[in-house]
Structure formats: C-alpha cells, structure tokens
C-alpha cells in the first residue's frame, strides 16, 4: 500500500483528469490486467488523443518506475480521475 500511496502522490492533482474518458481508463485497466504494461502503454500512445495519452502514459510510467505490479497499476489507472481531481 505504501508504494501505491507514493504513486498517487507523484501523479498529483491537476486539470488533465477531465481529459481522460472512462472508456480509455477501462481499456488501459483491462490491458494491464490481461497483457501487462507494454500493451497498455502501446494503447495509450497510439490509440488515444494527445491529452489522454499524456496523462495515462505519465501515470503508467510512474507506476512502472515505482515497481507496482500490473494489478496495482490497474487500480491506479481505474482511479486516475479521482486521483487527479484530489478526491482519492
């Protein structure tokens, strides 16, 4: 849990949460759970809009750098809008 708290702190708050649609968050979460970081990152960089790509790719990078398992990273991604809005 400590690692997840650190990731949430690093992600921080900001207006970009409004740019990420729920469909994108769900797809990235599913890819993390079923195929891992690589496929989730490919989806984020190739199949999303620029604003979504920036926010999701940044969150994925932080999760991976902090050594979160894909299952925990999926929880972070699922809650990305709440995290970025400061309501985590």
pLDDT along the chain (88 residues), means of 10: 87 69 91 96 83 86 95 93 80
pTM: 0.86
Distance between CA atoms of 59 and 7, rounded to whole angstroms? Answer: 8
Q: Which pLDDT score is estimated for 44?
A: 86
Distance between CA atoms of 27 and 9, rounded to whole angstroms? Answer: 23
């Amino acid at each position: 849990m400590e690692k997840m708290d650190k990731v949430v702190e690093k992600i921080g708050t900001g207006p970009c949460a409004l740019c990420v649609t729920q469909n994108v968050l769900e797809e990235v979460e599913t890819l993390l759970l079923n195929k891992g970081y690589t496929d989730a990152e490919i989806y984020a960089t190739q199949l999303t809009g620029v604003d979504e790509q920036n926010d999701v790719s940044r969150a994925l990078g932080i999760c991976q750098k902090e050594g979160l398992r894909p299952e925990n990273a999926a929880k972070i991604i699922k809650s990305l809008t709440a995290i970025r809005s400061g309501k985590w």
